[in-house]
Structure 1
């Protein structure tokens, strides 16, 4: 059995094949890397709209009278504060405060919560939830049930409005609602990973290709293009959004990553709380930074490249690339906390040559329309 034959495929696999996309293995899924130049796809999302298949993202339903209290123990943000239709960013932590995954929790109905997680982590989270009392009677992995389609960019509102029977202006950022699209009951959320105004549509698998084609046809005169995972990664990097397996892992905490917006110390006990409180009180020894190279000629920073200051190694790059929007090399990485202030200069070892970079405040790209 070949590696290719064991890869999972989304309900839109045939669509991507027909479009001539470059398909690659991404966390065990055969996914479209790009349809045209990734920089052109990024430009379309920033100026018009892009359509991305994100069906590989895990979706776990937690339902019933125990759901709220359970999730408040196994996740870091304040689930009890969520009103029906709201969503928030959060973490699943181990007892040491390490990040098992960063997630978005939607309170879709009064007794239904949907945990959206990274592609490689859904099975891990289901097992973790099970260890903490989340048995199959109210926790279910529903990843394969629906396609998840992200429509992102300034024109996304105009394109999608013709498909729904309500005023899209009433769907606020980080909210979700039930609606009907093409005769199918779907969840529609105002979320995304690009920094632009955008929506994510949870479409029954059998109708996913029809919706994709319909959106592409409707968006033809609004500059809509299909966008692959390369563009999605560039878009999230320009916003300084972390990616699990790069900026986040089980040895990294939200304190070090500067992501305490996903943590609430106002609620009761949750897994990892004590470790985060102790680290916050003592101040972390390292911090996540964003940096911009002074010129393209110095090279492109990549994951694993070392970061230096005053002749000493102070950290390592976690993500880096040439930003199509800013037209300069940018990156993120962890460094010793005392070298993490914006305005400081650091050196990136790029294939044996030192490239000068400035530490900057993220996001790198600041003209996004939300």
Structure 2
């Protein structure tokens, strides 16, 4: 059976590379560079993808095989596939209305979508379009009152999972963003205006949906901020390190599942367990924060090698996953769930409103083929197919 028959997606774009090529032609260069860019020389950005190549899976052809089941349990809920949509800031800049497109698609296919604090749709709107299924990633604000109010808003819409980002004690030096004028404060220079002008579909959709803004943060901003003032607000509001005391305060306020994103070492996992954290996402922020660090999959390998963590905390991963085989590699390595950011933005950039469902279907088809090839009936079987 061909994978197209079960998981519908556009056969003209059967891979992430195909989506990326099309998206690059439709998104203005300054916005595409924001999506693509990494920190400094982007060594760790490339390492994130490359390190997956060294993870090999072992087929087992002659055993009895009953078919595949991708369903995966997280925090008492069963999802239909072992992957979800990572949080990305300024999604609506890269493709208009992208947060809603992806949140709707994820809800329809019953996989997690994580809304970023600095994305371009609000907590309330995404809760509405996702039927209350969307998770939320918190950039910890400098002021506790703002943090507490955001948590109250999440509780009001019954957000199922709160993710706290811990890997931004400083803003990464991303040279592409600096040259494009997308550092803080952002600037719309003549070059950017020209780049927008040669992407007419992006421009028309932006006019239809409105200039993107930090929708979740609008209640806390003064009206009519210019670009410089907006930059000062963002720097003032989100400058600071997330420490144990801040996590303890959030744990006291938030009674639902609590996940920390950006954990990359065993010491921090031990601290998470001691603090009563329910899960971690092993992540290096897509290579956007530290160029001299490890790839996400390398950090994951070291963490799951510690047997004392097993059963005490959910261990998930994002960063560098670009295919169904990569999802399988991560699961075989020891991840209990996977997340992807850029591939889903390539999907909406390439195909607009159809991009979210296309990308989900594409990954399901690719993962199905891998599971059938190596005789995995369920997701937990991947651990027995890793060549060590």
Q: TM-score, normalised by structure 1?
A: 0.30
Higher share of residues assigned helix: 2
Greater relative contact order structure (CA < 8 Å, 6+ sep): 2
